[in-house]
Structure 1
Amino acid sequence: MTWEVLSFIGTVAFAISGTIIAMEEEYDILGVYILGIITAFGGGAIRNLLIGVPVSTLWDQSSYFITALLSITIVFVFPTILSKHWDRWGNFSDAIGLSAFAIQGAMYAVELNHPISAVIVSAALTGCGGGIVRDVLAGRKPLVFRKEIYAVWAIIAGMALGSGVLSQAWQLYTLFAIITILRVLSYTYNWHLPNKKWVPKT
């Protein structure tokens, strides 16, 4: 039940982030709904394709789809009222979603007895894939690759689960708390990975 609650929070956060970007790009209502849904479920769909889980399992998550649709509708109808609350709680909700989705994605791969490389990829795609697809469809450079430390935390979750040392429920919840805290610290203190621009010689 706890994981379901965390997944619902993540679904809401990801759906809202897709909706906000769609509205910033002045998409029509159809585009808003499509981008919101893709942000919430796109990572899971790509993960399923890569690790051998039937993509059709997504259609068994009707409660999550309803939650995402309601979230998108509320933001679209009441953008001004919700903007102040999203500025305060949006990043925290997104951190919860990243952590919960990354761990769940890694657990899918572990249950299928995939190697640690597949577990890491599954965690990263589940936690970050929807956001990457969202930014590409919105004509933006994916934020997870350039602006903030984001995908790294999903990769760490995948490494921890893929190593096989975590199996107890309390260990998974501890990992969830650690990944969430790291994500919160990274955006609070504006942590960045090293980067360098390629400048060709003339």
Structure 2
Amino acid sequence: MTWDVFNIIGTIAFALSGAIVAMEEEYDILGVYVLGFATAFGGGIIRNLLIGVPVTNIWNQSTLFTIALLSMTIVFCSPGSLIHRWKRWLNFFDAIGLSAFAIQGASYAHSMHHSISAVIIAAVMTGIGGGLIRDLLAGRKPLVLRDEIYAVWAIFVGLVIGLDLVQNAWHTYLLFVIVVLLRLLSIIFKWNLPRRALSR
């Protein structure tokens, strides 16, 4: 049940995120669907490749495809004023997707008895992979590589789950809320990792 909940939450959040970015870039309806699907399912495909799960498993998620399609269609057909309101929530959708998918990816790898390093990588790639693909397809600098702390929270999820600190569904939901809050706080207070630019 917990697995299904995080699959649905992450899919909706990232499908909305991808659709809104596509509309910001003035893509047509096909572009909206392509970017939305890539954002919602790209991270899971990358994770499957890395931890040895058949990529074709993605086609067994017909319910999630339907949920993503409905989410994107609602956004595309909504009045412009409502979409502009949703754009203000783009970072919130992104934080929800990051947290939900990082937990889902880490839990998946952990259930397969992979090492803690594999659990962390699964958390990171599932959590950030879709957003990374979204930004590249939209011609933007990937958010994960330039702005506030992002992938660190997925690493945190991988550590917590890999170290067996999550014992039940309530712990999982608490971890989800904590990561969403940490991501939003990193945006509000502009927490950044150290960076260095080479002078020209």
TM over 0.5: yes
Look up the equivalent residue of 1:177 and give its one-letter code: V
Query: Which amino acid is 1:31 matched to?
Result: G
**TM-aligned CA distance change 1:8 to 1:46, over 3 Å:** same
Whether the 8 Å contact between 1:16 and 1:36 is mirrored in structure 2 is yes
Question: What residue ranges of structure 2 are gaps of 5+ in the alignment?
Answer: none
Q: Structure 2: how far apart are the matches of 1:153 and 1:77?
A: 33
Name the counterpart of 2:135: 135
TM-score by length of structure 2 reads: 0.91
Query: What is aligned with 1:44?
Result: 44
In structure 2, give the amino acid aligned to 1:160.
V
Paired residue type of 1:178:
I
Mapped contact 1:13–1:94 kept (Cα < 8 A):
yes
What is the RMSD computed on CA atoms of the aligned residues?
1.8
Matches within 5 A, 1:10-159: 10-78=10-78, 80-159=80-159
Unaligned stretches of 5+ residues in structure 1: none
Contact 2:20 2:87 in 1 (8 A): no
Aligned twin of 2:184 = 184
- TM-score, length-scaled by structure 1: 0.90
Q: How many aligned positions are there? A: 200
Tell me the distance in 2 between the aligned counterparts of 1:89 and 1:77.
18
Please state whether the residue corresponding to 1:126 is helix, strand or coil: helix
How far apart are 1:2 and its partner, in Å? 4.9
The aligned amino acid for 1:69 is L
- How much identity, in percent, do the aligned residues show? 62
When residues 84 and 32 of structure 1 are mapped into structure 2, their CA distance, relative to the original with a 3 A threshold, is closer
Q: Which moved more, 1:87-96 or 1:128-137?
A: 87-96
- C-alpha distance 134-88 of structure 1, shift in aligned 2 (>3 A): closer
